[in-house]
Amino acid sequence: MTDTRHLYVHLPFCAHRCGYCDFVTVAGKNDQHRGYVDALLRELELERASLAPELETVFLGGGTPTFTALPELVRLLEALPPAAEVTTEANPETVTPELARALRDAGVTRVSLGAQTFRPELLRVLERVAGPDDVRRAVHHLRDAGFDNISLDLIYGIPGQSASDLSADLDDALALEPEHLSCYELEAKPGTRFTHAWGEELGRQADAMEDYFERVVATLTGAGYRWYETANFCRTDAGRDLRSRHNLAYWLGRDYLGIGIGAVSTIESRRWRNRSQLGRYLTALATGRPPEREVEELAGDVRARERVMLGLRLDEPLPLAGLRHALDASGLARVEQLGLAERTASTLALTERGRYLGGAVTAELLV
Ligand X SMILES: C[S@@+](CC[C@H](N)C(=O)[O-])C[C@H]1O[C@@H](n2cnc3c(N)ncnc32)[C@H](O)[C@@H]1O
Nearer Cβ to ligand SF4 (178/262): 262
Footprint of ligand X on 168-227 (CB under 6 A):
184, 186-187
Contact mark string toward ligand X, 85..104, x via CB under 6 A: ----x-x-------------
Nearer Cβ to ligand SF4 (88/91): 91
Query: CA 185 to CA 213: how far, in whole Å?
Result: 8
C-beta of residue 44 within 8 angstroms of C-beta of residue 8:
no
| Residue 116 touches which of ligand SF4, ligand X, none (Cβ within 5-8 Å per kind) | ligand X
Radius of gyration of the chain from its Cα atoms, rounded to whole angstroms: 21
Nearer Cβ to ligand X (172/364): 172
Nearer Cβ to ligand X (119/307): 119
Residue 22 lies near ligand X (rule: CB under 6 A): yes
C-beta of residue 296 within 8 angstroms of C-beta of residue 272:
yes
Residue 19 beta carbon to ligand SF4: minimum distance, rounded to whole angstroms: 9
Which one of 8, 39, 63, 306 is in contact with ligand SF4 (CB under 6 A)?
63
Residue 269 beta carbon to ligand SF4: minimum distance, rounded to whole angstroms: 31
Instruction: Give me the phi and psi of 9, to 5 degrees please.
Output: -125, 120
Which one of 17, 101, 136, 254 is in contact with ligand SF4 (CB under 6 A)?
17
Query: CA 91 to CA 72: how far, in whole Å?
Result: 17
Beta-strand relationship, 110-116 and 150-156: parallel
Residue 18 lies near ligand SF4 (rule: CB under 6 A): yes
Residue 64 lies near ligand SF4 (rule: CB under 6 A): yes
Residue 58 burial by Cβ neighbours in a 10 Å radius (0-12, 13-18, 19+): buried
Q: Is the peptide bond before 63 cis (omega within 30 degrees of 0)?
A: yes
| Residue 17 touches which of ligand X, ligand SF4, none (Cβ within 5-8 Å per kind) | ligand SF4
The residue whose Cβ lies closest to ligand SF4 is 21
Residues contacting 323, CB < 8 A, separation 6+: 304, 307, 308
Instruction: Provide the b/e sequence for 268-282 (b: ≥16 CB within 10 Å).
Output: eeebbbbebbbeebb
Nearer Cβ to ligand SF4 (21/174): 21
Footprint of ligand X on 30-69 (CB under 6 A):
61-62, 64
CA dihedral sign, ordered 43, 46, 50, 52:
positive
C-beta of residue 126 within 8 angstroms of C-beta of residue 18:
yes
Residue 273 beta carbon to ligand SF4: minimum distance, rounded to whole angstroms: 18
Q: Residues interacting with ligand X, by CB under 6 A?
A: 20-23, 61-62, 64, 89, 91, 114, 116, 153, 155, 184, 186-187
Q: Point out which residues bind ligand SF4 (CB under 6 A).
A: 14, 17-18, 21, 23, 25, 62-64, 91, 114
